[in-house]
A and B are shown apart, each in its own frame.
Chain A
Amino acid sequence: MKEQVTIIPIPVVTPGQQYSFQQRLPRTTARIIGIETGINILSLLPPVATTGTEFKRTLFLGNLQLQLNGSPNLFWSDTVIADDNSIAMGELRPPNNLPRPAIGIVPAGGTGRSFYQFHDCTHGTKKEEQVIDICGSRLISGQYRDYTGQFFTTGIRYTITLYVWTENSLT
């Protein structure tokens, strides 16, 4: 196999938490070719303030940064969000212009969602890694900082999953 993915879980349990980690990539790694992230939310999300319209801001959770060992600069940095609340913008609206229902508890026996209800799972684009080309070290350092403590008094427990795609020198 020419490509391989290394999975790094980042648990967040308290508001404002900073999480630092180091991860050694497989011995056969020639270079890093892509980064992906995923998120698993364990506690209930607090309601996000709205402006009285159907516009609802996307819940920003924190910032993740990656650095290669021996190199002073960051090679990747991105924000982490819970769900993309702007996904319905520019789409066909329901005839009666109903606002997008909040994501929440699934009714028993099904999701009960129609195609006019816009969520990442139904209307999201195909997930693709962010392409990068980094070589020189097999040890990466990372830091995640949670920002939810600035917006909410109650903490949100969640786990970020970082996927580091690498290309092997052995084909």
Chain B
Amino acid sequence: MGTIKKRFDLSVTEAEKTFSKTFELDKHIVYIKGILLTSDKDDLLYYRGSQKIEVDKQEVFPENYESKLLQSGINVSPNQRYYDLGNMPAGAGSIKLEYKDTQDSRAAFTPYRVSLYMDCITA
């Protein structure tokens, strides 16, 4: 039994649109320990982002759950940056990310990348 970190990327190319993508985890991953969102433009993800996340067709975070609640600044220790999912079974290993960009006056839109990191436990 070991741990492995996985990263999945999604590009946000248009303002105020929803982008959806399904990712596949490796077959030997049995549990998901934690989840983290980052971006190449932190402020856009922080102020404009919200998402729905499903693991194996089970909703973990509902629609409109803000991205800032799954982000960690650089002041947070790297060991504590992940949102704790409490060893959630990975099932068939499909991860669905439905990301929504919403207008916010504090961060004007420019195309950006959303990265979903998963802290996983292997068999």
Contacts and interface: CB of A to CB of B under 8 A. Distances in A.
A111 B75 contact: no
Interface string A61-84: 000000000000000000000110
Contact of A161 (B44, B64, B81, B103): B64
B47 interface: yes
A125 B64 contact: no
Given A42-B104, A121-B42, A126 B61 contact: no
B105 A121 contact: no
Contacts of A42: 103-105
A132 interface: no
A105 to B, nearest CB: 5
Interface stretch (B1-9, B24-32, B90-98, B106-114): B106-114
A125 B47 CA distance: 15
A14 interface: no
Given A106-B43, A113-B43, A121-B45, A127 B104 contact: no
Contact of A103 (B63, B81, B106): B106
Nearest to A6: B62
Secondary structure dominating the interface of B: mixed
Among A103, A123, A126, A127, which residue has the most Cβ atoms of chain B within 10 A?
A126
A132 B87 CA distance: 23
Given A1-B58, A110-B110, A125-B75, A163 B43 contact: no
Given A121-B42, A122-B42, A126-B72, A40 B104 contact: yes
B42 A111 contact: yes
A108 interface: yes
A97 interface: no
B102 A40 contact: yes
Interface string B58-100: 1111111110111111111000110100000000000000000
B43 A121 contact: yes
Contacts of B44: 106, 111
B41 interface: yes
Contacts of A115: 74
A50 interface: no
Interface of B: 41-47, 58-66, 68-76, 80-81, 83, 102-108, 110
Interface of A: 1, 5, 7, 9, 36, 38, 40-45, 82-83, 103-106, 108-111, 113, 115, 119-127, 161, 163
Given A44-B105, A122-B42, 20 more contacts: A1-B58, A1-B60, A7-B64, A38-B69, A40-B104, A45-B106, A103-B107, A104-B106, A106-B41, A106-B110, A108-B110, A113-B43, A120-B68, A122-B43, A122-B74, A123-B75, A124-B71, A125-B72, A126-B76, A163-B65
